[in-house]
Structure formats: C-alpha cells, structure tokens
Amino acid sequence: MRIAVWNDLRSGGGKRALYNHVKGLIERGHEVVSFCPDTADLNFMPLSELVEERVMPLKANMEKGISWLKGLHPHVHQKTRAMLAHCKACAEIINNEAFDVLFANSSTFSYMAHIGRFVKTPKLIYLGEPCRYFYEAQPEFLWKAPDAENSNLVKYALKRIKHMVRVYWYSYMCREEYVSAKSYDLILVNSFFSRESVKRAYNLDSKVCYLGIDTDMFSYQDAKKGDYVIGMGYIQPSKGIEIAINSLALVEPEYRPTLIWVSNNNKKDDYIDHIRNYAKSNNVNLIIKTLIPDVELFSLLSKARAFLYFPNLEPFGLAPLEANACGTAVISIAEGGPRETIKNGVNGFLVNDISYREIADRIAAFFIDPHLSINMGRQSRNYILDTWNLKTGTDNIEFWLDFLAKKDQEHITI
C-alpha cells in the first residue's frame, strides 16, 4: 500500500505510537509519506528518520489575529481557519499523488484532525481521544453558568456576556470537531474505554486497534531494584501526581520510598512549584527529572520497585506497559484504559478507587517483600512479550489500513 500519514502531535505516547506504526508498516514493504504542520514536535521520535516527511506551514498563520480581542476568543476562529487551510493544502497533494489510504492522527490543537474533510482517498483516523474538555466535567466545568453571588447587576451582566461569547467559540470548535469526525470512513481508537468516549462525544462508531510496545527499546535489564517508585507524564493536575504523594505520605517512614517523576515539560510552572512544596510538606522525597535521555529513562524504569499511574480517565496508557517491558510492575486505579491492560497480580495491581490507604499498602508491599518487585517484574515483561508486543500492534493497524484500501473496490460495508 501507498499510505499518506498526517499528524500534529507533540512529544508523548501518541507520537511514540505513531512512530512504531510507521516503522512496522515500512518494514512490511508499505510505502509511507508523512505530512505534518510546523507546529508538530519534529524532534521527538522523528518520522523523518523513517520516511519522507513533508512539513507544511501553519504556525505563522495560526498566530495572526486581532490581539486586543483575544479575551473574546476570535483567535479560536483564526487558528481553526489556519488549520483548515493547512489541511486542504496537504489534501490537494495527497489527492494528486495516488495514495491508497490516508492514515490521519490526532492534532495537539483540535484533537480531531480536519484533513479528512478534503481527502478523496479512503481515510481513517487513529484518535487518541476526543477533546475531553468539551465533553467531560472538569475542575472548572466549561459550560457552567457564571456565579451570581457577590456580584452587582452590572458585574453579573458582564460575566454573562463574557460567558456567552466563550461558550459560542467553544461550541464552534465542537461543531468543527464533529464535522471532521464524520468525514472519515473509519475511526480507530486505542481501547474499549476510548470507543465509549467517542460514542458519547460524537454518537459515531469506532474500532478498537490495540497498540504494541517496542520491547527492544524498552528492554529488561534484570537490574537490582532501587529504593524508589517512579511515575511519568506532563506535570499537571490530571496526571495524578498528588494522588501519588498523598499515598506515599501514608507509607510507614521505614518503608517510604523516594518518588522519581519523569516529565517532558521543563518550563517554569506554578504547578511544578506547588508539587515540590506539596511533597515536602507531606514528607515525601520527590525528584523531578525532565527531558532525560532514553538510556537514563530505561534504567530508571528497570530499577524502580513499582510504577505509579494515576491519571484521570486515561484512554489507554502506554507508559505502564513500557514500565512492564522494563521489568517493573504497575499500581494503578481501575478506570479508563488500565482496566484493559493491567491484570491484578500479573503485571501490577488495580485499586478500585482513589484510596490513598490501599495504594500506600500496595507500595509498601514492594518494600516489605524484596522479592515481589523482582518476581512481578519478570512476570510483567513476559506478559508484554506475549500480549502487547510490537508485531501485534503492527498487525492491528495493517489490518484496518488494508481493509479500508480494499473496501471501495469490493463494496465491503464496515
């Protein structure tokens, strides 16, 4: 097959998954050409190492706009128009170069890739998740009306006007997301949880296409375990780092380990300062490592007693399976993707809810019994090799791309 790939991804699990998909496809003889805007992260897992990558302009056009009106969100319109123009330009090339199928991926800006509207060949999108900010409750719920308390009539009227304008622009983004979602012949997702999320957001069906782990890259070092547990992810409230700290604070001091957190954000951030202070006030030794080399990451994962994973409704979660591949068991909460990937007592433990006490007891068990982390680590590695290997992940994506490329020729209904 001749496959056109499009993405606008930053560093993280989505880009790693795409890299592995492309690598697996070209190893099987398929021709892949990558298209992306200059807003994508071109340095993390660069597809240009594997295939021809055509980087198209977008950033400068997104930054145009009337700055004094940004409080009313017209920049949302400008950015969306710029993205649509970029996608249309990419689609014109794809339509003229005899590709068999479009393999679109998510957009950091809009989650849903808009390129499907303009491409005429069979097209699918591998969607990490809908824009959850629109469809799920948040700490500050997007659609909630402004609070009238302690406001005089004029202030409340201004609040309502600002809220209505904001809701309009976000509902505009919802509309654009939905129109693009409907344009694809097929939506692929990473878990049954994600399939339900897509159904709730768009009332559209999707197919589960499980990912695989590069077990050569995330290798088992059979190293001596250290006196720490580890977590990974962008340092923000949704990643659950406070859950980890609260749980560690309940571990008896003699068994309480250091928490090493590996992050890909290294900018000064008030929340990072808050987390450092929060850990200190709870007598938890927190070490934050940012943008570390892969070799150091693999070593840290291999030597950790356990991997802590508490993001809010994570759709799939590559990180815990990568930790498993390095020989480290996972402690997670039974929600989202981990319910499908973590088997109690095999590659980790699932806690039924956010119970700091239960999580603390699970952490302590890896230090009370020094053999537990070693034995479960080896078990975890074998589980990944058997169930979540890279070959299976490539099989899954190749099946759907081939199916879609042949669908129109054979009049197959999905």
Question: Rounded to 10 degrees, what is the CA torsion of 191, 195, 197, 199?
Answer: 180
pLDDT, tens only, 353-367: 999 999 999 999 999
Sign of CA pseudo-dihedral 240, 241, 247, 251: positive
Helix axes 318-325, 370-387, angle to 10 degrees: 110
* pLDDT score recorded for residue 64: 73
Compute the mean pLDDT over every residue in the chain, rounded to the nearest whole number: 92
- Reply yes or no on whether the pLDDT at 14 is more than 60: yes
Q: What single string gives the DSSP state of each residue in 93-106?
A: HHHHTT-SEEEEEE
Could you please state the CATH topology (level 3) that the domain comprising 228-388 is classified under: Rossmann fold (3.40.50)
Name the token pair of 136. 């799920």
Could you please state the CATH topology (level 3) that the domain comprising 2-212+391-410 is classified under: Rossmann fold (3.40.50)
In order of 175, 241, 248, 266, 272, the CA distances from 234 in angstroms are 28, 10, 20, 9, 10
pLDDT, tens only, 232-289: 998 999 999 999 999 999 999 999 999 999 998 766 789 999 999 999 999 999 999 9
Give me the residue label for tokens 């791309």.
Answer: 401
Residue 370 or residue 409, greater confidence:
370
Q: Matching CATH topology for 2-212+391-410 and 228-388?
A: yes
Q: φ, ψ for residue 42 (rounded to 5)?
A: -90, -5
Taking the CB of residue 74, how many other CB atoms lie within 10 A of it?
16
- Reply yes or no on whether the pLDDT at 411 is more than 90: no
> CA–CA separation, 147 vs 268, rounded Å?
32
* pLDDT score recorded for residue 140: 78
* pLDDT score recorded for residue 201: 95
Cβ atoms of 189 and 396 within 8 Å: the answer is: no
Domain ranges of the chain: 2-212+391-410, 228-388
Cβ atoms of 85 and 57 within 8 Å: the answer is: no
| Terminal Cα-to-Cα distance of the chain (whole angstroms) | 19
- Reply yes or no on whether the pLDDT at 116 is more than 90: yes
Cβ atoms of 8 and 39 within 8 Å: the answer is: yes
Percent of the chain clearing pLDDT 90 (strictly above): 77
Read off the pLDDT of each residue in 392-398 and give the average, rounded to a whole number: 98
Residue 135 or residue 397, greater confidence:
397
pLDDT, tens only, 247-263: 999 999 999 999 999 99
pLDDT, tens only, 310-320: 999 999 999 99
* pLDDT score recorded for residue 386: 97
Cβ atoms of 346 and 380 within 8 Å: the answer is: yes
pLDDT, tens only, 137-188: 777 788 888 887 766 888 888 888 888 888 888 899 999 999 999 999 999 9
Cβ atoms of 397 and 5 within 8 Å: the answer is: no
* pLDDT score recorded for residue 249: 98
